[in-house]
Amino acid sequence: MGNLCTCFSPKTPVKTKKPTKRLQGNPQTAPNSSNRWTRIRSTRKDNHDDLIHEQALAAAILFRQHQQQNGSASGSFPFDRSVSLRHPNGSGSKKTQLPRSSSSRARSLTDPLLQPHQLVNQDIKLDDLETKHLVLVHGGGFGAWCWYKTIALLEEGGFKVTAVDLTGSGIHSFDTNGITSLSQYVKPLTDFLDKLADGEKTILVGHDFGGACISYAMELFPHKVSKAIFVAAAMLTNGQSTLDMFSQKAAGSSDLMQQAQIFVYANGNNNPPTAINLDKSILRDLLFNQSPGKDVALASVSIRPIPFAPVLEKLSLSDLKYGTVRRFYIETPEDNAIPITLQESMIKSSPPEKVFRLKGADHSPFFSKPQALHKLLVEISKIP
């Protein structure tokens, strides 16, 4: 009806009726409506600024009171350089939730952010340890890159960390197909240990096939290894190979590892395989079933073939050398590559000093449970 009236009205009043029609709800105050809303918005902004100012003053007063109650002479606290925000679980309501960390993955309750006072043996200082130097050894197909979270956490805590790339792994340029022995594959690790100063010791941490690699190094340099930590790793006995260990899996069990293996025959099909590739279509289910997508993406473009000859080689381990090094095992119960039953079988065959379990961890706890893994590494390093 309004449109019909507009069409039959004289041309001169049309210009005045159109704006009147748009402001039909309150024609008398329409000309000043812009100023009116400006004043309202300005008043609300002023009130908001005042509220923020009052909250800031209240926070400053509480902070000062906290300082006085704790007897802080300098009036300051150490600055937490962590990227992630740290606050007690369950504090605050949903309306006042603190911002989340830069990670897009919701933090698991089994992998909490840890403060130094939450660690076991907290009364032991790093300078009092036999060694605070950890050497991280990756598993088959992985490289030093897989430890990036662990390296950052350990170094932030004051530890010295070395992550090695074994031959043909990570950024090591050697062709994997040319590796013919375990000693050749482990050479970057043994060279590193050989160059350590007399009396200098390290803590070896091996993951997956890296367990066999640190065992080989322990036999050669027992006097340079303070402790050995096996993380979802091959912990073999004398005369056993990594292939022997995998053959212990229960018959008929769902073997994702076997499904994922793609053998490479660089010397021709009539000769033994030279390497093993992993089918990337089932990589997540096999190695990263509890890990963040961004870490799976990193692994999918970084994993290299696994040399076949070292997997076949049987270890020679003696009680006088390998047997003198203190061993610890970290179990990963959600592991599809080395199932928990197989881990427990290795532990039973060659019992370590102590066994730890990372609840909810897959085969790659440095991705799926980095904080909890870090806690255990620190705790083991401090065991007297």
Measure the CA–CA gap between 230 and 215, rounded to whole angstroms. 10
Q: Which residues have CB under 8 Å from 255's CB, separation 6+? A: 249
In the set 208, 295, 362, 374, the catalytic residue is: 208
* Number of neighbouring beta carbons within 10 Å of residue 177: 18
CA distances from 310 to 80, 212, 376 (A): 44, 9, 29
Residue 368 DSSP one-character state: H
Measure the CA–CA gap between 322 and 343, rounded to whole angstroms. 19
* Secondary structure of residue 248 in the 3-state scheme: coil
Structure tokens given for 335: 């592991």
Order of strands, sheet of 133-137, starting from the edge strand that comes earlier in the sequence: 160-164, 133-137, 202-207, 225-231, 326-331, 354-357
Measure the CA–CA gap between 153 and 157, rounded to whole angstroms. 6
Query: Helix and strand tally (H, E) in the chain?
Result: 14, 9
Structure tokens given for 330: 């970290």
Angle at 90 between CA 85 and CA 96, to 5 degrees: 70
Is 53 a known active-site residue?
no
Measure the CA–CA gap between 370 and 354, rounded to whole angstroms. 20
HSE of 181, CA atoms in CB hemisphere, 13 A: 5
Measure the CA–CA gap between 111 and 360, rounded to whole angstroms. 9
For residue 65, the cross-strand partners are none
Length of the chain: 384
* Secondary structure of residue 365 in the 3-state scheme: helix
Per the CB < 8 A criterion, the answer to whether 165 and 189 are in contact is no
Per the CB < 8 A criterion, the answer to whether 326 and 228 are in contact is yes
Is 255 a known active-site residue?
no
In the set 111, 165, 295, 335, the catalytic residue is: 335
Residues forming the active site: 208, 335, 363
